[in-house]
Amino acid sequence: MTSDVPYFTNSEHGYVPAKLAQRNSSAGQPLRLLRFVVNHVIPDTVKFIVQLVPLIVGGLIGLVLPAKRKSVHGQTALVTGGANGLGRALCLRLAREGCHVAVVDIDMAGAQQTAADVRKLGVKAEAFLADIANFEAVERLRLDVETKLGPVDVLVNNAGLLAVLSLTEGKPTDVERIINVNLLSHFWTIRAFMPGMITRNRGHIVGIASIAAYFPVGRFIPYTVTKYAVRALMESLNGELHMDGLQNAVQTTCVYPALIATRQQFVDMLDKLNFLKRFYVFTPEQVAEQIVQGVLVNKREVFVPNILALFCKQFECLPASLRHLLLSCTIRTFIEGMKERQRGYILGVSSILGFLAVPRVVSYVATKFAVRGMMQALQHELAIDGFGETIVATTLYPTFIASRKELMDLLNDLSLDEKLTVLTPEAVADEAIEGMLRGYPNVYVAPFFIRLSLYLISFLPHSMSKLLIETVMGKMPSLMERSQKIC
Could you list the active site residues?
A: 223, 227
Burial of 53 from C-beta contacts in 10 A (0-12 / 13-18 / 19+): exposed
CB contact at 8 A, 91 and 101: yes
Angle at 321 between CA 320 and CA 327, to 5 degrees: 85
How far are the Cα atoms of 299, 300, 371, 462 from residue 368, in angstroms, in the given order?
25, 21, 5, 20
Residue 322 corresponds to which amino acid? L
Distinct helix (H) and strand (E) counts, the chain: 21, 10
Burial of 15 from C-beta contacts in 10 A (0-12 / 13-18 / 19+): exposed
DSSP letter for 244, please: T
Kind plus residue range of the DSSP H or E element containing 326? helix 320-327
Alpha helix (H) residue ranges in 203-250: 221-243
How far are the Cα atoms of 196, 352, 391 from residue 221, in angstroms, in the given order?
35, 21, 17
CA 277 to chain CA mean position, Å: 31
Angle at 168 between CA 166 and CA 174, to 5 degrees: 75
DSSP letter for 169, please: S
Phi-psi label, residue 219: left if phi above 0, alpha if psi -120 to 50, beta otherwise: left
